[in-house]
Structure 1
């Protein structure tokens, strides 16, 4: 007899990191979001498929401490190190998104994080044209 098994939760091995990502979790799970950029504490820039500009979002929960905590959590989950002597980290989140973390002194305003999601979108040439992709050609 063939049993149907649910797909494993990629976050099952990193529940603490998952919990700490709560301030940005809605963006991580939104299909239309392709990038989340935190250039300084308190500010997010969200890139969505089809949007001409990134959305600016203010998030007070995204503090320098939060950025450091996420960065060290990702480092721990991927067997890497991030600190003042090695302030840049490149990794993948458990669900496959690419993440870059930068801490002081490399990011003097309190740190930065960039998350790029794997987005697959099947678009026709007409759809690209409607989005303005060929305006300057």
Structure 2
């Protein structure tokens, strides 16, 4: 056994972030399941609700997902009638993703989902905002975007 001790799990920020992420994702699960959605599908829909359509690359960049993860997700969403995919008419190298009427219809649930999750987290508006600012700054620093 080495003489050097590793810091315990309780001192690991990475574990706290991991546990918080899993807990928040789990809190979304019942609400989203009632709508027939998974958490990653919900995130894709949020991007499309903001822009109606965009390329696969734009979605991947916004959600910080690689194409290998995103493509099967989009395929399942298309099969489920939530989105449509087609080649860009001006540059066929790009695939454009658009909301279907079914995907657009789910937009009306967005505010309720957001309010439900804020309540589940038990944060005041200021705490919620402060947490977002902190997490975004951390992400930017760690990913070298700062």
TM over 0.5: same fold?
Answer: no
Structure showing the higher helix proportion among its residues: 2
Structure showing the higher strand proportion among its residues: 1
The structure with the larger Rg is: 2
TM-score (norm 2): 0.30
| Structure with more relative contact order (C-alpha pairs < 8 Å, separation 6 or more) | 1
